Structure 1
Amino acid sequence: MKRGVPLFKMLRRKQLTKKENQLETTKDAHGFPIEIFLDVQKNIENIQKILNTPSDLVTREFTVGNTKQRCAIVCIDGLVDQTTINDKIIRNIQLGMANSGKEIPASGEELLKEFENHVLSAIEVKKLNTLDQVMQSVLSGDTALFVQGTDQVLLIGSKGWASRGVNEPSTEALVRGPRDGFTENLRTNTAHIRRHIRDPNLRFENFSVGRRSKKDLVLTYIDGIVHPDLVGEVKRRIKTIDLDDAPESGFIEQWLEDSFLSPFPTLSPTERPDKVCAALTQGKVGLLLDGTPFALVAPITFGNLLQSPEDYYERWWVGTFLRFLRYFGAFLAVFLPGLYIALVSYHPGMIPSKLAFSIAAAREGVPFPAVIEALVMITVLELLREAGIRLPKPIGQTIGIVGGLVIGEAAVSAGIVSPVMVIVVALTAISSFSVPSYSLAITFRILVYGMMFLAAGFGLFGLILGYIMINIHLVNLKSFGIPYSTPFAPSFYADWKDLILRAPIMMIGKRPIMMQVDDEKRMRKGGKS
């Protein structure tokens, strides 16, 4: 493919014509941002009025040295680290100014400058001059320092709310690989990526989403690898987000995806930092939202969703074998119940004679056709899955195993379903569990119903029709301009070495062609394209 031919044909969706999600400012009756008062007491009263004097709002007024120069700090209890406030703000101001031997400035602006440059020992210190910026920072866990006689405020980084530690991802467990996972703390998550990729070209760009929540959203990519058009399109879509709150990255995924009517995911959620870092080195982008351990990777293809980080941690033939198993499992998860229904109901002549007699004997006395059997058993299986997830973990596992055995045995003994149908449903469930992506596995669980109805209505011809319809949908689906079926169609044969086949590492010397990256080579010496 010629380098001059652009692959990114970004989609301009009609629903993205809304105004950009800019930070809302607190305004007066004339629509102008409220400025900071020169009087400290007025500023405190103004903040209390805006927040309706909440119980967790902490204000502390004090004077500096022997002068009557008034100061005040404002913060939210529970969002700040009290040690930082006591040691790096209040104590430094009181002792630092008293022991410095300097004359305390009479001007509020000069005193504020003295605090910023010589007194405060915190890492994050910045000046603000509008109340809306101060309010957003305070509600994010920072501490505001007001000084009498100046309309500027010092914001000191003092975030320190309670958060859980780094644990192994529960939804993407591996036998071999890193055990660290993302947490709900945004800075912890960015540190994970920094620790894995120590490249000065690694970029983190901050956005604010949610009119009310004003959650921090970080776009990460590697400058010099990623295609500039991809970054520009992601930024454009982020700026169109118009929500009151985005409690989880699923809201961001649904807003940014190319087609909300498609059952297939076009962004990949993950809890694994190594998975995000691997995507960044391929020329993709990552999205990290504060308050959730699930990051988003874009763009993705169908082949990406059937790959696992463990494919690269084991030797190439092990990774290749596992991928073949997953593709076979994906086929069974969608088509196995429909295939059984079609063969039993319409094409018994295609079944070997001994097997056909065995199935007929097992179905003797069953009052329902094969499609009803399949619908009942698949639905019961889905209910058991949901029950196992919602119940406490020890009980959920017991319910899933014992419930499946008891219900299956009871249904066979009562003559409601045949033993062969229980085997078919069990194989379908096991096959769906082999899919690494939970979002794709849910899609397969939905499609299996459609395949059963098509098989019940048209036999094998209905299954073939369903297969063709799925493929037509996949080749027309895009993820941020990248065809979803790439590199199958359009075909990039060089990328097939890391598709179903996982070629040896030294043979994958170039990044995916479909990403149109600026830096194609990922191996300078010894690698092959």
Structure 2
Amino acid sequence: MLKKLKKLFIYESPSNQEREFRFPENPGETATWDIYRGKQENLEKYMDNSGSGKDQDINNDNDSEYEGKGSEHNKKDDRSNNDSQNNRDEKKEKSKKNDEQSDDRDTRDKSDNQADESESNEREANEREDNEANSEKRISENDNDHENEVNTPRVIIKTLRSHKPITVEEMIKESMRKKREKFKNSKAGNNGKNQKDDRNEDAPKLKNVSHSLKENIEYLENLYKIPANKDLIIRKFNIARKIPACLVCVDGMIDRRIVIQFALPELMDESNFKDYDPGKEYILDYIERNVLTIDQLVRMKVFDDINPQIVSGLTALFIEGCDECIIMESRGFEKRSVTHPVTETVISGPQEGFTEALRTNITLVRRIVKSENLVTEFEFLSKRNNFLCAILYMDGITNPRLVDEVKRRLKNLEIDYISGSGMLEQLIEDKTNAPFQQIIATERPDRVASFLMEGKVVIICEGTPFALAMPITFFDLFQTSEDSNLRWQYGSFLRIIRLLGFLLATFLPGMYTALILFHQEMIPTSLLSSIVASRAPVPFPTVLEILLMEFSFELIREGGIRVPGVTGNTLGIIGALILGQAAVQAGLVSPVLIIVVAVSGLGNFTVPSYSMSLTIRIIRIALILFGAMGGFYGISAAFTILMAFTLNMKSFGVPFFAPIAPFTRSNKDKIIRGPISEQTYRTDFLNTLDKKRMATEPRGWMRGDGGAENDQGR
């Protein structure tokens, strides 16, 4: 018994052949000894690194110890290995004899039954350890790679109880083998393409619909976090009271009348299946042809396609024994009714605007474009949000390469969440750092219809009342849907007013700054004297004065937009008047500057596009700073940089300043709008399939009988 205790608590010093630090063979059984000896930390590091760090140090030390010995070391290596093997065998026999003798003495000394039981348990544990060590030794001896290692000195490790010798190389091999098995198992169980499986390891790994209804239900319950998630409805029932099935839908997104009155009663009624023969007809075919009266039924097999349909308000029918499901139309959530457009008001023209419902918006467009060539394709975007959008284009008019480019950009979006059309616009435009927009947004169905007939592509998104049209040019930003409803003279005049307003809003404050600071000789004497007199009480320099007024004007405009109701417009007008008058009386600004800022602000309001008006504000501030630094030379430099950047812009391959730069054939509908009867061709830069939009003389009544030469036309 005393020898046993000595073996447990006294560490034997290593022999000369057994160099370097030694680890116990079985860390679990010798943890108490490691804590006692203070080697627990080293042991944990060894097991974590699988022998990589310590064994490398051992090998490095041994290599350095044997450096310089040359060929003598290689000759003695075989002899030392044989000697060490003989020593291990002798020690093994001695340890067995010592164990047997100590066991006999212990059994004679112990008369207590409890001591006998503990000793027998300990002996059985030692036998198990010996068996495990022998098996590991047989594995290591059968390994041919171990015999071919290059001149690596053997380092012997002993366990504390059995003193079973094992080499460091064998431990490294065993740990590496376990690591490889663990890596293979983890690689086989992981799927890098499906990130949802990593978040939900307990969920069944299904990609396609299974024949087992139970597996499909378990997959959906794990995917939608049932029972924590209360929105998903899984209605189990029996078709014709025989075949198990279930309906899956999202509460609040469906019209319950469709499910309760048309789907469930028809599927559960036995009379609807009296002519059904399982041996002759597939049950899904029979249900589609003879049972369900719902208008839209689609079959799907892949869960990646089924899940977006379920969360969008459709209902999925799963049947036992079928490896596909039926998706039926059942959407019935609340939505806003069609109202007047808010941001694009017109006097002459339709007064309907888009809503947040995708189907309603498509219907508003189809009410105007009543053509079989109008194609609508749906696409789900984003990884988690399943953002639904519709791609609209005219088959036979729109360039197919343009349609393919739009689809390519949409399908290659890698983002979790898209809030609406504004966010989508930034994700698919050519240059995100460009000052001007490359995609136009509109909330008017009539304007979308005109874009489609010109050969452009339109994207309508779910949950937003704005449609995106592409490609566009600089001149499209100054057009409104009201232009086509007015005579060409009126429309051309309004477009010129908008262009002048754009120029005033952009350049007037910067030019005023340049004239006051650098080019006073260009101002008439009488006007210059009045400006100097009005600026006499102002304590601020011209640059600070104009920036202060611009900032105040932006505050009033932004505050008027954010205040709800009619109060916002009243606040903007009254606030500007009161603030301007008070600033002049206090001597903070000059009256001339108030006029300059007011005129530039009014010019900004003439621009139809809201995004374009924001661009004008930014450019105006930049021109003020350049004018303050260099006068007209600074403004010219800033304008040159802006034009060089803008001329290099493209919107889906179309130059931003087409048809002027580069010059191409136009349809006489840019700045100066020609008569409708003369707009024979579509714009050339779109490369439409059908170039001609009308006959050379579209007014057929001008030719032949009943024409201008006949009294019937008078």
Residue identity matched to 1:495 = S
Question: 1:419-498 alignment to 2 at 5 Å?
Answer: 419-492=591-664, 494-495=665-666, 497-498=668-669
Question: For residue 47 of structure 1, what is the aligned residue in structure 2?
Answer: 220
Question: For residue 520 of structure 2, what is the aligned residue in structure 1?
Answer: 348
Residues 107 and 149 in structure 1, CA contact (< 8 A), matched pair in contact too: no
Residue 510 of structure 1: how far off its partner (Å): 0.7
Question: 1:16-35 alignment to 2 at 5 Å?
Answer: 33-35=206-208
Question: For residue 378 of structure 1, what is the aligned residue in structure 2?
Answer: 550
Question: For residue 501 of structure 1, what is the aligned residue in structure 2?
Answer: 672
Residue 469 of structure 1: how far off its partner (Å): 2.4
Question: 1:376-415 alignment to 2 at 5 Å?
Answer: 376-415=548-587
* 238, 246, 249: which one aligns with 1:72: 246
Residue 482 of structure 1: how far off its partner (Å): 0.9
Question: For residue 307 of structure 1, what is the aligned residue in structure 2?
Answer: 479
Q: Pairwise CA RMSD of aligned residues?
A: 2.3
Aligned to 1:58, what secondary structure does the other structure show?
strand
The answer to whether the aligner puts 1:61 opposite 2:232 as a matched pair is no
Aligned to 1:497, what secondary structure does the other structure show?
coil
Question: For residue 16 of structure 1, what is the aligned residue in structure 2?
Answer: none
Question: For residue 5 of structure 1, what is the aligned residue in structure 2?
Answer: none
Residue 186 of structure 1: how far off its partner (Å): 1.3
The CA deviation string for residues 263-283 of structure 1, in whole angstroms up to 9 with x for no partner, is 100111111111111111111
Counterpart-to-counterpart distance in 1, 2:300 and 2:534 = 77
Residue identity matched to 1:86 = I
Pair 1:430–1:387, CA change in 2 (3 A): same
Pair 1:373–1:194, CA change in 2 (3 A): same
Residue 94 of structure 1: how far off its partner (Å): 3.5
Question: For residue 505 of structure 2, what is the aligned residue in structure 1?
Answer: 333
Residue 81 of structure 1: how far off its partner (Å): 0.7
Aligned to 1:253, what secondary structure does the other structure show?
helix
Question: For residue 18 of structure 1, what is the aligned residue in structure 2?
Answer: none
The answer to whether the aligner puts 1:251 opposite 2:426 as a matched pair is no
The answer to whether the aligner puts 1:115 opposite 2:287 as a matched pair is yes
**Unaligned 5+ residue runs, structure 1?**
1-22
Pair 1:106–1:482, CA change in 2 (3 A): closer
The answer to whether the aligner puts 1:297 opposite 2:469 as a matched pair is yes
Residue 231 of structure 1: how far off its partner (Å): 1.8
Aligned to 1:459, what secondary structure does the other structure show?
helix
Residues 109 and 149 in structure 1, CA contact (< 8 A), matched pair in contact too: no
The answer to whether the aligner puts 1:148 opposite 2:323 as a matched pair is no
Q: TM-score, normalised by structure 1?
A: 0.90
Pair 1:101–1:75, CA change in 2 (3 A): closer
Pair 1:103–1:311, CA change in 2 (3 A): closer
Residue 447 of structure 1: how far off its partner (Å): 0.2
Aligned to 2:351, what secondary structure does the other structure show?
coil
Aligned to 2:393, what secondary structure does the other structure show?
strand
Aligned to 2:637, what secondary structure does the other structure show?
helix
Residue identity matched to 2:684 = I
The answer to whether the aligner puts 1:511 opposite 2:686 as a matched pair is no
The answer to whether the aligner puts 1:210 opposite 2:392 as a matched pair is no
The answer to whether the aligner puts 1:85 opposite 2:259 as a matched pair is yes
The answer to whether the aligner puts 1:283 opposite 2:455 as a matched pair is yes
Residues 497 and 508 in structure 1, CA contact (< 8 A), matched pair in contact too: yes
Residues 206 and 219 in structure 2, CA contact (< 8 A), matched pair in contact too: no
Aligned to 1:514, what secondary structure does the other structure show?
helix
Residue 424 of structure 1: how far off its partner (Å): 0.9
Aligned to 1:286, what secondary structure does the other structure show?
strand
Aligned to 1:377, what secondary structure does the other structure show?
helix
Counterpart-to-counterpart distance in 1, 2:280 and 2:216 = 14
Counterpart-to-counterpart distance in 2, 1:73 and 1:160 = 16
Pair 1:197–1:25, CA change in 2 (3 A): farther
Question: 1:162-177 alignment to 2 at 5 Å?
Answer: 162-177=334-349
Deviates more, 1:31-40 or 1:73-82: 31-40
Give the total of aligned pairs. 502
Counterpart-to-counterpart distance in 1, 2:388 and 2:279 = 36
Residue 525 of structure 1: how far off its partner (Å): 4.7
Deviates more, 1:348-357 or 1:497-506: 348-357
Residues 27 and 34 in structure 1, CA contact (< 8 A), matched pair in contact too: no
Aligned to 1:474, what secondary structure does the other structure show?
helix
Residue 131 of structure 1: how far off its partner (Å): 3.1
Residue identity matched to 1:519 = D
Deviates more, 1:102-111 or 1:67-76: 102-111
Residues 108 and 147 in structure 1, CA contact (< 8 A), matched pair in contact too: no
Residue 409 of structure 1: how far off its partner (Å): 1.5
Residue identity matched to 1:518 = L
Greater RCO (Cα-Cα under 8 Å, separation 6 or more): 1
The CA deviation string for residues 477-514 of structure 1, in whole angstroms up to 9 with x for no partner, is 1111111111221123x427211101110111111112
Counterpart-to-counterpart distance in 1, 2:329 and 2:592 = 64
Aligned to 1:410, what secondary structure does the other structure show?
helix
Pair 1:187–1:496, CA change in 2 (3 A): closer
The answer to whether the aligner puts 1:357 opposite 2:529 as a matched pair is yes
Question: For residue 360 of structure 2, what is the aligned residue in structure 1?
Answer: 188
Residue 342 of structure 1: how far off its partner (Å): 1.3
Residue 42 of structure 1: how far off its partner (Å): 4.1
Residue 226 of structure 1: how far off its partner (Å): 1.6
Residue 33 of structure 1: how far off its partner (Å): 4.1
Counterpart-to-counterpart distance in 1, 2:567 and 2:431 = 38
The CA deviation string for residues 246-297 of structure 1, in whole angstroms up to 9 with x for no partner, is 1111222111111111110011111111111111111111111111111111
Residue identity matched to 2:435 = P
Deviates more, 1:45-54 or 1:25-34: 25-34
Residues 667 and 683 in structure 2, CA contact (< 8 A), matched pair in contact too: no
Residue 178 of structure 1: how far off its partner (Å): 1.0
Counterpart-to-counterpart distance in 2, 1:72 and 1:496 = 58
The answer to whether the aligner puts 1:521 opposite 2:692 as a matched pair is yes
Residue 72 of structure 1: how far off its partner (Å): 1.8
Counterpart-to-counterpart distance in 2, 1:356 and 1:134 = 74
Residues 667 and 682 in structure 2, CA contact (< 8 A), matched pair in contact too: no
Pair 1:335–1:31, CA change in 2 (3 A): farther
